[in-house]
Amino acid sequence: MFEDRSKKRTELGELGEFGLIDHLTKDIIYKNATTLKGVGDDAAVIHTKLTTLVSTDLLVEGVHFDLSYTPLKHLGYKAAVVNFSDIVAMNGTPTQLVVGIAVSNRYSVEALEELYDGIKLACEKYKVDLVGGDTTSSTSGLLISMTIIGEAATEDIVYRNGAKEGNLLCVSGNLGAAYMGLLLLEREKEVYKANPAAQPELEGYDYILQRQLKPEARLDIIQLLKENNIKPTSMIDISDGLASEILHICKQSDKGCSLYEEKIPIDATTVSLAEEFKMIPTVAALSGGEDYEVLFTIEQSDFETVKKLADIQIIGHITDKNSGANLITSSGAVIPLNAQGWDALKEKE
Ligand code: ADP
Ligand code: MG
């Protein structure tokens, strides 16, 4: 939909596999002292004195991304950052990235350059080294596999299962915006399909679109907590929506929780767009997903410190398992949370 068709097209066959890998990775400069060898040998070589964290993501065209409204540079950036976010959610620092791609000849060298521009931009911003990968052909579409390697001192690692009764439930940033961005893009895609001459109506929605197309990993938040001597007791990143992530923490910690609807941070533009879509903004936050904020629990004794930290909101607390995981609505009703967060709020209507 936003494609620039005027660009030059070089067929993948013109470069060949090795030419392509060289072309995409030749300008990489390694920033981490732990990277002893990156692209170019049979394996990358990493030496670290800390504990290693590893996480992987597989993205399939048509299943996980839609290229009709996702620019390839954004796709590369997002795929990398989403991976970094998993390391951040363990209270670790992402350090090295390995990227595998399977690509059909429908793609040009220029298209892959765009994808790699996005990946490299994310790596630069987060000081991650792109140390290797694999390149192969696909009979249909694009497949991207990313493996992120990170590090942390063993005692600093935060798991999902450490929440204790009385802990405070906290979240960074604001929620629901990425989902509203997705709805907006889907709406414009339908308009475009019906009338390709129509210009997309996306003006004034920059923030919402950016949250969907160019998310960030909250490495800044875990650094801020560390600077303030706060170690969360449990943590997870928000990829599937607040309700689903809270339930993961409760289940793995064998606890319940009270989440207060009025405390959930939602940006004003998310609220107005949700209203335009005749949706309850809380639903976008609870079940929308892809915000990549961090959800974590802290000791009550850290309350005074956390209260003063910018961009962190206390949204509830951990209870015993038998109380269940509940949403306390703005009108005071107590509703059990479910993974969609959605049915619960429907009952309210
Ligand atoms: P091998 O045949 O030993 O698997 P390759 O020819 O696949 O080696 O890769 C050569 C080098 O290029 C390796 O260091 C590999 O990690 C790197 N590489 C291959 N594909 C990619 C890619 N898509 N992105 C980044 N590095 C890559
Ligand atoms: Mg290989």
Q: How far apart are CA 146 and CA 66, in angstroms?
A: 18
- The answer to whether the CB of 130 falls within 8 A of the CB of 40 is no
Write out pLDDT tens, residues 146-199: 999 999 999 999 999 999 999 999 999 999 999 999 999 999 989 888 888 887
pLDDT at 91 over 60: yes
Task: Transcribe 124-164 into DSSP letters.
Answer: HHHT-EEEEEEEEE-SSSEEEEEEEEEEE-GGG---TT---
What are the beta bridge partners of residue 145?
58, 100
CATH topology of domain 12-156: 60s Ribosomal Protein L30; Chain: A; (3.30.1330)
Find the length of the chain.
349
Write out pLDDT tens, residues 208-240: 999 999 999 999 999 999 999 999 999 999 999
> How many angstroms is it from 135 CA to the middle of ligand 1?
7
Indicate the SS3 state at residue 214: coil
Residue 336 Cβ inside 6 Å of ligand 1? The answer reads no
pLDDT at 344: 45
Residue whose CA lies nearest to ligand 1 atom number 17 = 132
> How many angstroms is it from 48 CA to the middle of ligand 1?
22
pLDDT at 126 over 60: yes
- Domain borders along the chain are 12-156, 160-336
Residue 115 Cβ inside 6 Å of ligand 1? The answer reads no
Mean pLDDT for the stretch of residues 35-45? 97
The closest ligand to the CA of 22 turns out to be 1
pLDDT at 348 over 60: no
Mean pLDDT for the stretch of residues 296-302? 98
pLDDT at 4: 54
- The answer to whether the CB of 180 falls within 8 A of the CB of 270 is yes
- The answer to whether the CB of 148 falls within 8 A of the CB of 214 is no
Residue 42 Cβ inside 6 Å of ligand 1? The answer reads yes
Residue showing tokens 């090795």? 18
Q: What is the mean pLDDT of the chain?
A: 93
What homologous superfamily is domain 160-336 in, according to CATH? PurM-like C-terminal domain (3.90.650.10)
Write out pLDDT tens, residues 248-272: 999 999 999 999 999 999 999 999 9
Amino acid making up residue 185: L
**pLDDT > 90: what percent of the chain?**
87
Q: How far apart are CA 47 and CA 63, in angstroms?
A: 36
Q: Which of 89-93, 102-106, 154-158, 195-199 has the lowest mean pLDDT?
A: 195-199
Q: Which atom of ligand 1 is nearest to the CA of 134?
A: 20
